[in-house]
Amino acid sequence: MHTFTVSTARQILAETAEEAALLFYQELTKGPAPLSYSVADEVELTNRITLDQEKADKFAAMDHTADPGNW
């Protein structure tokens, strides 16, 4: 297994950094998950990845904790 750093970004208008973080958190808990990500590996090589909604939903519905070798 490898270690990746996965991040997503949104531009949010807010009065403070904390408010922006809270608004982003609110968006994540009430709406669909983002589909575009920046993914960096152990050597900091970064790729932009946009997921297919149908494939992402199918993957998310499965339990991957039992046997990570299945994916």
Q: List the domain boundaries for the chain.
A: 5-64
Q: How does strand 46-50 pair with strand 36-40?
A: antiparallel
Chain CA centroid to CA 46, Å: 14
Residue with tokens 């949010």: 12
* Per-residue pLDDT, 71: 54
**pTM for the structure as a whole:** 0.71
* Per-residue pLDDT, 47: 96
* Per-residue pLDDT, 1: 85
**Predicted confidence (pLDDT) per residue in 8-47, tens digit:** 989 999 999 999 999 999 999 998 899 999 999 999 899 9
